Amino acid sequence: MWIYEKKLQYPVKIKNPNPRLAKIIISQLGGPHGELGAASRYLSQRFSMPDRKIVGILTDVGTEELAHVEIVSAILHQLTKGMSEEQVKNSGIDTYFVDHTAGIYPQAASGMPFSTSTIASTGDVLADLHEDLAAEQKARVTYDNILRLVDDPDVKDPIKFLRQREINHYQRFAESLGIAKDALTDKKNFYYYNPAFDKV
Amino acid sequence: MNQKEQLLKRLQSLEFAMVDLGQYLDTHPGCREALSYYKDLKAEHESVKGKYEEQFGPITAGGGGNADYWDWIATPWPWELAP
């Protein structure tokens, strides 16, 4: 279960609405490397992990990703709240506005709706942990690209926080991969069997 | 920064430290230094959370204990900007 805390993990205080930035940043809500996918990925994968430490890290990182979904949504909300009709027409957000107005809908910047086809949960310990390491790097890349396209310091600040968290999570997943490999009976061949399914 | 913002910032800082340290402990569960630091953070977090809720309303539902009104829905949501 989860208990909601009525605060953001990191503050978001954007003074100037800017729907052009929302149109880009929405990818980190519902895009292929976004926070909603991250939460779904880790919170689903943990059930087949044989090691208690790895179940712990997937639970805690997955939970933190839910807080990141909220941070990205807060950024999008503040960037689009009170936008003028002129801004809707000229910022490029008109194709989103037509279906969602200034509501929050998880999709990629390209317009593709959020889909779990962008995550993996294979039931295989090594495949899942490699997926997680790659996922943290892909999310970091998207945040780097967002930082290249954004000039408002009020927006950059929480984006930099989220970017840094990808790096910390990568570190923890790298340790998890080490833990998983150490537990394999045949350490010379990591890929001989799936410790979550095969009986050795 | 007013008192509410200061308390909230402290609360966010403490909780962030607990989130990050908790994840470290998941992969280093026998690290005594981290365990002791986590315990200190948790104690201060509880105290700051109590202080905040008493003055400014709930962080978790029921916090602050107003006997006349369900403050959970009365105080601003975290994405709302102060007017």
CATH-assigned architecture of domain A19-182:
Up-down Bundle (1.20)
Which pLDDT score is estimated for B82? 72
What's the whole-number average pLDDT of chain B? Answer: 96
What's the pLDDT at B48? 98
Domain layout of chain A by residue ranges: 19-182
For residues A50-76, give the mean pLDDT. Answer: 98
Per residue in A44-60, pLDDT (tens digit) is: 999 999 999 999 999 99
pLDDT band at B83 (very low <50, low <70, confident <90, very high): low
The answer to whether the CB of B54 falls within 8 A of the CB of B4 is no
Is A7 in Cβ contact with B11 (below 8 Å)? yes
- How far does B69 lie from chain A, in Å, by closest CA? 17
Residues of A in Cβ contact (< 8 Å) with B19: 9, 60, 64
Give the minimum alpha-carbon distance from A197 to chain B in angstroms, rounded to a whole number: 22
What is the number of helices (H) and of strands (E) in chain B? Answer: 2, 0
pLDDT band at B29 (very low <50, low <70, confident <90, very high): very high
Test A12 with B20 for CB contact under 8 angstroms. no
Query: Strands (DSSP E) along chain B, which ranges?
Result: none
**Model pLDDT for residues A150-177, shown as the tens digit of each residue:** 999 999 999 999 999 999 999 999 999 9
B49: CB partners within 8 A, 6+ apart: B11, B59, B63
- Tens-digit pLDDT profile for residues A27-41: 999 999 999 999 999
Q: Average pLDDT, stretch A114-134?
A: 97
Select from A20, A39, A25 the least CA-distant residue to A108.
A25
With beta carbons under 8 A apart, name residues in chain A contacting B20.
168
